[in-house]
Chain A
Amino acid sequence: MTTTTTAGPPAPAPRRPRRARRVRSTEQPVLGRSPVIWRVLGYALVIGLASLYVMPFVIQLATSFKTNPDAAANPLSLWPATPTTAAYQRLFGLSESHETVPFLRWLGNSAFVTVLVTAGRVLFDSMAGYALARLKFPGRRLLFLFLLAVMAVPGIVLLIPKFLVLSTFGMFDTYAGMVIPLLVDAAGIFIMKQFFESVPREVEEAARIDGAGVFRIYWSVVLPMARPALITLTILSFQGSWNEFTHFLVSTQSAEYETLTTGLARLVSGGLGSGGQFPLKLAAAALSTIPVAILFFCFQRYFIRGANAGSVKE
């Protein structure tokens, strides 16, 4: 049924009025239009604000194509005096002149960890969310309270504790230690639980009468229906683990496990005294942002739903 249609998601993101040209005439402002002068000032303010949010990224991109002296001398200019891709060449190991930055290693680690974590979260969060929403089992209420309590613990408090557990289990400085603790997140379980509760029970009952077991109902009936929620979770997990920093900082030590975030952080904070090489650093930062940026521009509404998952929890 709903599995094959591409109809809108059942849990709507913030509605935005579909504005077509023909609608405008009916869109009467409640309080009448403001005088022209206020509207001009208003637009000026809005454009000013928007440029505050955009300019840093524009300057970043422009600077990544500059030479070191150019970046230091003209930090504001949006056009490199002598455009160069030297920074990018160094990151991809194409230039011989300098010591290279193991950027491809970071990229590989980030991609590897992100794929595993995302897959794990989508599977385990949806299983737990389904059980909490639909299955009756002893201890369910207690488990729910446990999840609430776990979510209340501020992540930063866990820096040292996580290290303790990882080193006790011999998982410190391994991929297992980087990935396994991130495989489940309580917030994701809540997103999925919320969704499964909105699915009509009749659907499952019909399948049950046809003789489907619990796992089959979950896997073949309910999960395909949950596509919008699964996409939200996938995107949030991808973004979360791609941008993750503190966990990798305390779960690893060797350079071979550095990710884009930990590698970049070391490159940037280590080179503080030198102050230079900003084209290189900004190019690395830009490259590490691009996957998330693409994802964001393609799947904005899912990010938006994620941002509002917080308000749903209440």
Chain B
Amino acid sequence: MHKPALRGRQGPWGWLFVSPAVLVLGLFLALPIVMALWVSLLDWNGQSNPFTGGQATFVGLDNYRDLLTQDGLDRTLFATSLRNNAYYVLLFVPLSTGLGLTLAMIVNQRMLRGRSLLRTTFYFPSVTSTIAVSTIFLFLFQGSGAVNSLLSWIGIKGPNWFADPRGVVWVTLGNLGLVDPEQPSGLLADHSFMGLSWFEWLSGPSVAMSTMILLATWTTSGTFMLIFLAALQDIPRELEEAAALDGVNRRQLLRHVTLPALRPVLFLVLTLALIGSWQVFDMVYVMGQGAPGNTTLTPAFMSYQSAFKNADYGQGAAIAFILFAIILVLTGAQRWLLRERGPRQGRRR
């Protein structure tokens, strides 16, 4: 800073160096958001140019109102997609985080042989494309597919996974004879929220959605494993040795040494999982496009569908912004929750 001559020379170079990045990110990330915000206030069918007048009508917040407060098909569909995705989050986030941590602990065992081969094995699904692995899952989970063949060995007749819209909560309770999944009764059927009955809200993910959750867990756990593994290997070994000298057992070591050391990384992984799980798209596109019975419809896919299939770009953009808000709020909430309970307030920023 105290060499003005140098600084004067570097200024133009600095901007020259960042200009391609600024140009591309500005034009294809920042500008689009502003444009979409405008489009979300329009009734526009994708024809002509909405920025120079044309055939688009300004409708204000109508798109948002249809989705959130106005009785009707749009809101019911949107509520369904929110419900589907909420169940996805509820299962995917703990499953993938827990599995990632378990795998990391396994491949971190010093006594285990073949650790690097295992690490490769667990990570491989993460580097392949979602489209390709979805194709594999479509084959494995067909009605008469490999998974059901396996299940039949132990006497279980598996469902027709991708065609089964029943919620797993009602299927389970139905098998126990507690409720009739086909016949919602009294309280649950009579009350509703955002156009969906309580029965529908509480159904759990459909069987079809559950297979997607499995796929996502399978492809993501490897990445999370690596993130956890890096953190595990940063724990000084002396710490474990000192604890061992004090006579702690494995469980105490995990509880009082390992897990506290993993806190920041756990936070990172949970955030990544949460952000990712509101963006499920590729899988939905390949594996069902919302079918069966809209139980695999997610807000991200509905946004795409509204715009590109139904030519209602205003609604599509509005859904995208609601989704954006959900992700922001949940990430913020998670940050706040995890900070409150921590013994160490040391996280910067």
Contact = CB atoms under 8 A, between A and B. Distances in A.
The prevalent SS among residues of B at the interface is helix
A87 interface: no
Contacts of B15: 131, 137, 139
Contacts of B279: 154-156
Interface string A276-302: 001001101110110011001100100
A257 B166 CA distance: 38
Interface in A117-153: 123-125, 127-128, 130-132, 135-140, 143, 146-147, 150, 153
A34 to B, nearest CB: 8
Interface in B113-160: 115-116, 118, 120-140, 142, 144-146, 149-150
Given A137-B15, A268-B134, A183 B20 contact: yes
Contacts, number: 294
Given A49-B106, A72-B144, 11 more contacts: A30-B253, A49-B103, A135-B14, A137-B10, A168-B35, A168-B51, A181-B24, A184-B25, A246-B282, A249-B304, A268-B134
A309 B142 CA distance: 37
Contacts of A56: 125, 133, 136-137, 140, 218
B1 interface: yes
A205 B292 CA distance: 64
23 contacts: A14-B233, A30-B237, A46-B112, A49-B122, A53-B124, A56-B140, A56-B218, A131-B17, A137-B14, A139-B15, A154-B324, A157-B33, A160-B317, A161-B32, A161-B35, A162-B32, A164-B50, A168-B35, A268-B135, A282-B139, A285-B132, A285-B136, A311-B227
The prevalent SS among residues of A at the interface is helix
A53 B127 contact: no
A304 B229 CA distance: 10
Interface in B10-43: 10-15, 17-18, 20-22, 24-25, 27-33, 35-36, 39
A290 to B, nearest CB: 10
B272 interface: yes
Contact of B129 (A160, A261, A269): A261
